[in-house]
Amino acid sequence: MDLRPSFLRGRTPAGKASRDVLQKLWRSVGLPDESLDHVVLTGADPVLPSSFAVGTAAQASMAAAALAAAEIWHLRGGARQQVGVDMLHAAQECRSHYTINGVTPNPWDPITGLYRCGDGGWVRIHANFAHHRDGALALLGCPTGEDTNRAAVERALSRWKALDFEQVAADAGLPVAAMRSFDEWDRHPQSQPVAAQPLLTLERIGEADPRPLPKYGHGARPLKDIRVLDLTRIIAGPVCGRALAAYGADVMLVNSPNLPNIDNIIDTSRGKLSVLADLDTADGRIALGNLLRSAHVFVQGYRPGGLAALGFGPQDAARIRPGIVYVSLSAYGDKGPWAGRRGFDSLVQTATGFNHAEAQAAGQDAPKPMPMQILDHASGYLMAFGAQAALARQATEGGSWHVRVSLAQTAHWLRNLGRIDGGLACPMPGFDGLLETEPSGFGELVALRHAAQFSDTPARWTRPSSPPGTHPPVWPFN
């Protein structure tokens, strides 16, 4: 007899490896083992075409975030409930598939991608923002603007060594990565500080009285009335905020009116309030400070030290709002020679050896990316997991807390999950049965349902995705 909850019956139970990964995550932040008796994982790698355990990474990180929400619910007086995550559904959610008014946006600029250099090495240029695109083109001596094609970039890079162009671009503050093998990355001076750090760090950074979470009755979601400031862009940080919103938090996305966004904001803004604040102005800083004074969680994806220069670093936030849970995302961690370097999922995949290893597994010379931005998505769920673990610690022990996650540390974790024999032969699945349609401030949105399922407090987004500046910079009255 299948004794699992009805929403997971008929699905293949996950292998021991997936449960072991979740258990290690759970215990790393000191959460009670009893919760692990209430999680059901189904499916097994491979679920997408990759030689890496991308399905396990998606499932375990999402299950950790969802189970932490259920633990918060238990701390608030709710009964322990079953949480289920299917591996294929989780991996599909990490592919960022959606349509708006029937159109599937293409997030990639034509210049973005991998190029062979004159020394036989490869570099990846990230050009999805116009200023990054034009900066890379200017370094190469190519005309800036949208008329430049890939052939011109290829000709220019034929006169460069891969590592030289990576360094010159980094010196100019531009996001470029040279492809390395795993062995080459392991010898790199940034590899050691990444490997020496835990996957995510919870650090007590200040004293504050415990702030017990209010009790709620039947029908409330676990994070009801938890206020989250979301100062992130692109994918990883926004995925964190979207998950917390699905679990009931009031998440306020704070955008600068002077910075561009990518189309993914349409999908990752589900469930969020969306405001504008220019932190380069006194008015913008005052508005953020006022919001912070009654927030529970502050999530930010600025480069290390970036917000501290504006008066909103971890210690600043703990002084303004004692008891805050401050969550920081970086590309390569906060220690080592690359701590301040710009980076995105695709660049970290290239720099840390994944594109090379995936190409070797495929028997090809050209670099091969993984089938989704798994470093971004797994990092986003790990951020949500860490934030809720710190909320639980704050509610019981007090203190202000700093949670740190980096794409490079997530990459190190993924690599240690092992390889999947024959994984690249897995066909790319479709999205049948996983999509839902909802109105948004951008038009009709068709996107994936959240893969984490709760037996008592179903995850859902109650606020439609909205363009930046839709809402005033004030918390809703609850």
Going by C-alpha positions, the residue among 68, 23, 35 that lies closest to residue 297 is 68
CA–chain centroid gap for 117, Å, is: 31
The pLDDT score that the predictor gives to residue 16 is: 65
This prediction has a pTM of: 0.96
Please tell me the predicted confidence (pLDDT) of residue 14: 59
- Spans in the chain with pLDDT lower than 50: 1-5, 7
Cα gap 159→315, rounded to integer Å: 46
Give the other-Cβ count within 10 Å of 421's Cβ: 11
The pLDDT assigned to 288 comes to: 98
- Cβ-contact 420, 50 below 8 angstroms: yes
Q: What is the pLDDT of residue 478?
A: 63
**What pLDDT does residue 15 have?**
54
Collapse the DSSP code of 228 into the 3-class scheme (helix H, G, I; strand E, B; otherwise coil) and give the result. strand
Torsion angle of the four alpha carbons 281, 282, 287, 293, in this order, in degrees rounded to the nearest 10: 130
Could you tell me where the DSSP H helices lie in 334-373? 345-351, 354-362
